[in-house]
Amino acid sequence: MARRPLIAANWKMHKTVQEAKSFVAALLPKIAAVRDRDVLICPPFPLIHAVDQARRDTPILLGAQNMYFADSGAFTGEVSGPMLKDLHCEFVILGHSERRWVFGETDELINKKVLAAITHGLIPILCVGEKIEEREQNLTEQVILNQLDLGIKNVPENVIGTMVIAYEPVWAIGTGRNASAKDAHDAIALIREFIHSRFGSGAADKLRILYGGSVKPENMATYMREEGIDGALVGGASLDPESFAKLVTY
């Protein structure tokens, strides 16, 4: 089954409102001819409205970098699914390694967020991946499958194929050290086989699985040539419109 590639920009904690507007204005003419893949921008919360305004009447998709599982309440500093929907977000990144290892989010918390996102019509991009010490101890498969198993707990069978999974080895994020194409292929094949065994071929064939971790214009095509890799979740290289356009048009 041919899956539509997804190239997602995760801006992390970068840019001002004006910088965000300028980025979209610069990006649009560079990707105007692109018709066969999806382009997603996930800005910080304060920039979501500005990016939404700038991308109106264009194919660019909009996402958030995180959310909380409750709809409302006394949760200072948090943002809910209904708030993101009200801002016209279509996607939300959940379980990014920085949320797991910098902010201490557990698989159980991430699962609550995944279920809340689905409830509110947001497409979760669930991130999974191993740390360098886990890789050196040959625990990569165990870590990925555990994070995946707990992260999608109680997700309905008819929904799983509409989600996005991103394989992001922690040791390759923002380090300049990227996984080899074979490493990425093997991990993504493992994820798809897990989904196939749990939900069947229909869901496994529909599910888009991305690679993330020091993706750059210079190595993008190498990953996209690998069977089963459906796109990329890009950090640093997504901050410059020229660089991100090259990734989109790989």
Domain of 241, CATH number, reads: 3.20.20.70
Q: Does 137 map to a domain? A: no
Active site residue: 105, 120, 168, 185, which one?
168
Of 96, 98, 105, 130, the catalytic one is: 96
- What does the pLDDT read at residue 175? 75
Structural domain harbouring 91: 6-121+142-161+170-210+225-248
Is 161 labeled as ligand-binding? Answer: no
Q: Which residue has the tokens 């529909």?
A: 206
Kindly state the average pLDDT of the residues 65-94.
Answer: 98
Whether the per-residue pLDDT at 109 is higher than 90: the answer is: yes
CA 202 and chain centroid, separation:
21
38-42 and 61-64 beta bridge pairing: parallel
Average pLDDT over residues 124-144: 95
Q: Which whole number is the average pLDDT over 80-100?
A: 98
To the question of whether residue 236 is assigned a binding role by annotation, the answer is yes
Instruction: Please write the tens of the pLDDT for every residue from 20-42.
Output: 999 999 999 999 999 999 999 99
Is 216 part of a structural domain of the chain? no
Q: Is residue 63 part of a domain?
A: yes
For the question of residue 96 being annotated catalytic, the response is yes
Average pLDDT over residues 37-59: 98
Can you give the pLDDT at residue 212?
A: 94
Q: Is residue 65 part of a domain?
A: yes
Distance CA(166)–CA(209), nearest Å, equals 6
Active-site residue, 168 included: yes
Average pLDDT value for the chain: 96
The domain total for the chain is 1
pLDDT at 201 over 70: yes
Angle at 55 between CA 49 and CA 60, to 5 degrees: 115
If pLDDT is split at 50, 70 and 90, which confidence band does 2 have?
A: confident
11 is in an annotated binding site: yes
Structural domain contains residue 128: no
Residue 214 marked ligand-binding: yes
63 is an annotated ligand-binding site residue: no
Portion of the chain with pLDDT greater than 70, in percent: 100
Q: Is 80 annotated as a binding residue?
A: no
Residues 88-102: b if buried by 16+ CB within 10 A, e if exposed: ebebbbbbbbbbbee
pTM: 0.97
Percent of the chain with pLDDT over 90: 94
Provide the pLDDT for residue 1. 63
Q: Distance between CA atoms of 184 and 229, rounded to whole angstroms?
A: 8
